[in-house]
Amino acid sequence: MTAPDPKRAFWAGWWACTPFVFAAVPFGLLFGVVARDAGLDLLQTMAMSVVVIAGAAQFTALALLVDQAPVFLALAAGLAVNLRMAMYSAALQPHLGHAPVWQRMVMAYLMVDQAYAVAGQHFEVTPAMHPADKVAYYFGAVLLVCPLWVAATFTGAVVGNAIPPALSLEFAAPICFIALFSPMLRTLPHIVAAGVAVVGAILFSGLPVGVGLICAAFVAMLAGAETERRLTRGRS
Amino acid sequence: MIDPVTFWTTTVALGLGTFLIRFSFLGFLGRRTLPDWALRHLKYVGVAVLPALVTPMVLGPALQAGALDPMQVDPVRLISALVALGLGWRYSVIWAIGGGMGTLWLLQALI
């Protein structure tokens, strides 16, 4: 294990996350615009982005509230969309679980998709990294994207409809998620898992919002791990 | 108009619930280590969750109640998504984002 160099690790995480600026900013702008169109005031719009920091869940809950759905339904749907983060939490735990509890609370608050995809992936490929450097790397990654998410929401809420619809900002979300997982498709088990996830998402699309996502992801995870197990068994 | 009480209840509860989901394993397991079989499964979290999240966003109205209607698929979105996937796989994140959005705008202008 090399000597710790948290400052360097922080900036490495920060730089690794910079490409996501181009996806998080449009998505945040869009949330600001949509929230104001839905009748939220500036404070409410900002509160949602600061308290929740999870684009997909914010859009889901807001859409249901606009349709006059009861609180528990909007809440259940939003939480279901965010259940994937329990899997991120479990995947990051072996690398970051050693940190003091207050740091883990801050990490949890800021645990966005990019945090898992960038930091979790980096830890996976560089296992020799010092534990202190892993913490610094994580904070570098999230401290770029999270403040930008909030700033973009604010800009969207204020500038509002001056943003031309032809830019199709709503498509920045799927493009961002594709950019997150496509570099991970390095081995056959990873490709199998991704393929199963797509098929599962189609088959389970009839289930309530979020539930189908969790089912598809769960089956895909099993498929990836099982493929890996069979491949290693065949080799030995 | 969304009733303020409804809005604030939902937002605060969603924030709290989301925090607990994010804190779960990282917070309560601490230094304890997960068994090998669990770690082997967790390696595939990203490639399991993200494609499942993206699929309905790309297919949109073509996907309804567990059935896919190929005639309803928006070719512009599908092609842009595939371009982003290829570029991200072959090159890097920035290529995926730039190429995906670029393809979307180009095709929208053409079609």
> By C-alpha distance, which of A53, A55, A60 is closest to A212?
A60
Task: Name the residue in chain B with its Cα closest to that of A68.
Answer: B2
pLDDT at A2: 66
CB contact under 8 A, B48 and A206: no
A92-134 pLDDT, tens digit each: 999 999 999 999 999 999 999 888 889 988 998 888 899 999 9
CB contact under 8 A, A107 and B53: no
Contact B23, A89 (CB under 8 A): yes
Contact A29, A152 (CB under 8 A): yes
- Contact with chain A for residue B60, Cβ under 8 A: no
Banded pLDDT at A235 (limits 50, 70, 90): low
ipTM: 0.86
Q: Write down the pTM of the prediction.
A: 0.80
Between these two residues, A4 and A235, which has the higher pLDDT value?
A4
Q: How far apart are CA B111 and CA B106, in angstroms?
A: 9
For chain B, domain boundaries: 1-32
> By C-alpha distance, which of A147, A198, A174, A214 is closest to A59?
A174
Q: Are strands B63-64 and B67-68 parallel, antiparallel or unpaired?
A: antiparallel
A18-52 pLDDT, tens digit each: 988 887 888 888 889 889 888 899 999 999 999 99
DSSP H helices, chain A, are 6-17, 21-37, 42-52, 55-66, 71-82, 84-96, 101-109, 113-114, 121-125, 131-159, 172-181, 188-203, 211-235
CB contact under 8 A, B21 and A89: yes
A180-200 pLDDT, tens digit each: 889 889 899 999 999 999 999
User: Residues B68-92: what's their mean pLDDT?
Assistant: 92
CB contacts under 8 A, A 56-85 vs B, are 56-57, 61, 65-66, 71, 74-75, 78-79, 82-85
